[in-house]
Amino acid sequence: MRKRAAILALIGCALCAVLALERLAREPTYQGASLTQWLTAYRACISNPGINFNPEEWLPQLPDVPKSTVPEAKAPAEAVRAMRARALPYLESWISFRPVPWRLCLLKHAAKLPAPLQKSAVVNWLRPDRGYKRLDLALSGFVILGPNSVPAIPTLAKVAADPTAPGSIYAIRVLIELGPPGVAALTNLLTGPHSTGVKDGVRMGLGRIGAGASPAIPALIRDLTGPDMMVAGRSAAMLGQIGQQPEIVVPALIAALDDQRFFIRQCSAAALGKFGEAARPAVPRLQVLLSDMPLVEDAARRALTAIAPEVLTNASKQ
């Protein structure tokens, strides 16, 4: 019985290999090399991936963006751009990866094969490792294509919204890199099932997008009064980074200055400073915070310097 199961598994593996080879033959090529080969070459140009830390790129629980400016990376990047229309469906497929149940089933039966066969290319093809590795390649491909990736937003939004999808955090990072076109999908994630850490990454990503993320302002204002101090504080900070719609944002931040939680007062004061003259209605409340705890006092002082420096000058003369 076991021998029969092993034979069936082997036959199944062979059929899978045929399908894999057929799919590989369809993968777009440029100058004789496949999309996978070009993206692998691009990734190889990134020294110590995951080790070099760039605070401007870091977003909580989201992958780093693989970017390289070394001369060796130019040819792979240009090759991917040359294949853009043909490459996009493959990148969408790769980032949508999920382990396939029937493959896992065959892999389980393949474990009963003789040891040499278990190490064969056919059995290796059944393993999900390749799918996970392609998530990194997909992220690189989307980043290289930049605005040309916009048609993939519906697919990216669907993958990003499902925290059980292996490519979810990669799709979120792509949406952030796409900027304003990805804001609607990113905003929806703030009320989705993702962890607090991932949502923090989304908020910070919206802040990085800046003025183009203004459609997310109502959601961030809503979170200002939430029960989680860190969420509310970071929402205030990102409202300052976006820096738009002062007619509704400034009053919301002024109200947050009365919050009992120091981190929210600190972040709200700092955010108000980003609005400059438009935040002048906040001056009286900011002056009160000058006698608050040191972190809050410092944020209020910096905000007043940006909004109404004469208030601090007059105070020092008294």
What local confidence, expressed as pLDDT, does residue 65 receive?
87
Side-chain-side CA neighbours of 181 within 13 Å: the count stands at 14
The pLDDT score that the predictor gives to residue 67 is 82
- The DSSP result for 163-210, as a single string, is TTSTTHHHHHHHHHHH-GGGHHHHHHHTTSS--HHHHHHHHHHHHHHG
Rounded distance between C-alpha atoms, residue 164 and residue 146, angstroms? 26
- 20 — pLDDT class (breaks 50, 70, 90): very low
Smallest Cα–Cα separation from 138: which of 169, 161, 164, 179? 169
Cα separation, 40 vs 208, whole angstroms: 28
Q: How confident is the model at residue 202 (pLDDT cuts 50, 70, 90)?
A: very high
> What integer pLDDT is reported at residue 154 of this predicted model?
98
Q: Domains in the chain, please, with CATH?
A: 1-178 (no CATH), 217-318 (1.25.10.10)
How confident is the model over 115-163, as pLDDT tens digits? 676 667 766 666 667 888 899 999 999 999 999 999 999 999 999 999 9
Q: What is the pLDDT of residue 24?
A: 45
- pLDDT value at residue 312: 86
* Per-residue pLDDT at 204 exceeds 60: yes
* pTM for this model (two decimals): 0.85
